[in-house]
A = this chain, B = another copy of it.
Amino acid sequence: MSTLPAVFARHQAEIDAEIRSVLDERASPLYDMMRYHFGWADEHGRPQCSPNGKAVRPTLCLLSCRSLGGDHRRALPAAAAVELVHNYSLIHDDIQDDDRERRHRPTVWSVWGKPQAINAGTGMRMLASTALRRLNLPFAQRSRIQCLVDEATISLIEGQYLDILYESRFDITVSDYIDMVAGKTAALFACALEVGAEIATDDASTVKAFHDFGWNLGMAFQTRDDILGIWGTERETGKPSCNDIMRRKKTLPVVYALGMAEGQQRAELLKCYSASSLDESAVKRVVDILESMDALAEAQRLTTSYIERAEGAIAGLSLDSDAERELEEVTRFLGTRRF
């Protein structure tokens, strides 16, 4: 399936409005960098409307609340917080990876420099905490949600730490890879779904089911992302084909291939991944090796198995039928998306 489920468009305006209002409580030009990042302002702070991300995580947060019969508007501050955490990590990622472009625009650091972009990122993470103060919930419940968002951020940073550490290592196993992605991606997905459920119900086993649903969905999201990072087209993903290979990222197909390759193929892979830069023919050679080892199919098999585990986590729960249908649609989309 490769069309974006309608539920994304349905909630986008509310999520944007919540985040904008969190930013608008503040006066410093520091926040102009954040508005720029979200595509709401140009580099001079003038209003603009650039295409934003899909807002997958906050949409899932609202959907989990709705599917349990909750009013999704009560979950908006939490959805905003989750999206602020994700986007703070993008601002810092771009600095760490030296990426000059995101969504066809210069990244925050390439406009304002790395020192200010560090402030923009950490500042955005702090706004996630201020967003949670808007939750109209009893202190104890709000405190549990703050704890979930804080712990998801810590997991994300631990995952990002591993991601950077792995850049200089060639002995990364699929199990190491899973540890990294569990932190970098799955923790925040799990948090998004768990928090949405927590706002709608006080049944601990249901909340746990949504946590597991989100965790597996996050794993599937990342493994599918790894596939698109090599075999996606620039027209569909907005990133150059084979981008992750040029950047020599230890994504799933590569980790799988490094674990399986022997002899000449292994020597070639190691040579490419140790070089200081890769030319077009080397990139093509890496892709050929990955394909000869069936790394695409293997990565898709893992994606599908996470999708199935996600579906299994909430199977049997009695959910609101509209929201359930939308959750199913989003789940299928995330496992097969082309962008």
Which residues of A approach B to under 8 Å, CB–CB? 26, 28-30, 92, 95-97, 113-116, 118-119, 121-123, 125-127, 129-130, 133, 139-140, 142-143, 146-147, 150-151, 153-154, 157-158, 160-162, 164-165
B96 x A158 contact (CB < 8 A): no
With a CB–CB cut-off of 8 A, which chain B residues contact A92? 118-119, 122
Q: How many copies does the complex hold?
A: 2
Q: Which 6 residue pairs of A and B lie closest in terms of their CB atoms, listed nearest first? A: A139-B139, A96-B115, A30-B161, A123-B157, A28-B158, A129-B150
B28 x A161 contact (CB < 8 A): yes
With a CB–CB cut-off of 8 A, which chain B residues contact A165? 29, 116
Distance in angstroms from A325 CB to nearest chain B CB is 37
B157 x A119 contact (CB < 8 A): yes
With a CB–CB cut-off of 8 A, which chain B residues contact A29? 161, 165
| Secondary structure type dominating chain A contacts | helix
A164 x B119 contact (CB < 8 A): yes
Report how far A147 CA is from B129 CA in the complex, Å: 9
B118 x A96 contact (CB < 8 A): yes
B116 x A161 contact (CB < 8 A): yes
A133 x B158 contact (CB < 8 A): no
With a CB–CB cut-off of 8 A, which chain B residues contact A119? 92, 96, 157, 160-161, 164
Distance in angstroms from A45 CB to nearest chain B CB is 14
B147 x A133 contact (CB < 8 A): yes
Instruction: Evaluate whether A122 and B157 lie within 8 angstroms (CB atoms) in the complex, with A129-B150, A139-B140, A143-B143 already known.
Output: yes
